[in-house]
Amino acid sequence: MSALHHTGYEPVRIIPMALRAAVPAAAPALSAEAGLGRVATTIRAAKHDAICHDGDEADAYFRVETGCLRVSKTLSDGRRHVVDFLFAGSFFGLTQAEAYDCTVEALTDTVLTRYPRRQLEAIAERDPATCNMLRRAVNAALSAAQVRSMLLARLSAEERLAAFLLDLAGRTGATRRLPLPMTRVDIGDYLGLTIETVSRTFTKFRTRGWIHLGASQDVTLVALDRLGELSEGGVLQAA
Distance, in Å, from the CA atom of 109 to the CA atom of 123, rounded to the nearest integer, reads 30
Give the HSE-up count for residue 222: Cα atoms under 13 Å, Cβ half-sphere.
11
Type of residue numbered 167: D
Query: In this structure, which long-range contacts are made by residues 28-37, counting pairs with CB atoms below 8 Å and at least 24 apart in sequence?
Result: 28/128, 28/129, 28/132, 28/133, 29/129, 29/132, 29/133, 29/136, 31/129, 32/127, 32/129, 32/130, 32/132, 32/133, 35/123, 35/127, 35/129, 35/130, 36/115, 36/120, 36/123, 36/130
Q: What is the pLDDT of residue 180?
A: 94
**Whole-prediction pTM value?**
0.78
pLDDT tens track for 35-47: 677 788 999 999 9
Where does the pLDDT of residue 231 fall: very low under 50, low under 70, confident under 90, or very high at 90 and above? confident
DSSP H/E element including 13:
none
Do residues 42 and 72 lie in contact, with contact meaning Cβ atoms separated by under 8 Å? no
pLDDT at res. 154: 76
CA 41 – CA 11 distance, rounded (Å): 11
pLDDT at 91: 86
- Which of 71-75, 87-91, 215-219 is predicted least confidently? 215-219
**What SS3 state is found at 63?**
strand
3-class SS of residue 125: helix
Transcribe 66-102 into DSSP letters.
ES-EEEEEE-TTS-EEEEEEE-TT-EE---SSSB--S
Domains of the chain: 5-151 (2.60.120.10), 156-231 (1.10.10.10)
Q: What percent of the chain has pLDDT over 90?
A: 44
DSSP for 22-59? PPP--HHHHHHHHHHTTT-EEEEE-TT-EEE-TT-B--
The residues, any chain, with a CB within 8 Å of residue 186's CB and separated by 6 or more, are: 70, 82, 85, 107
First to last CA, the chain: 46
124 pLDDT more than 70: yes
Q: What is the phi-psi region of residue 142: left when phi exceeds 0, alpha when psi lies from -120 to 50, beta otherwise?
A: alpha
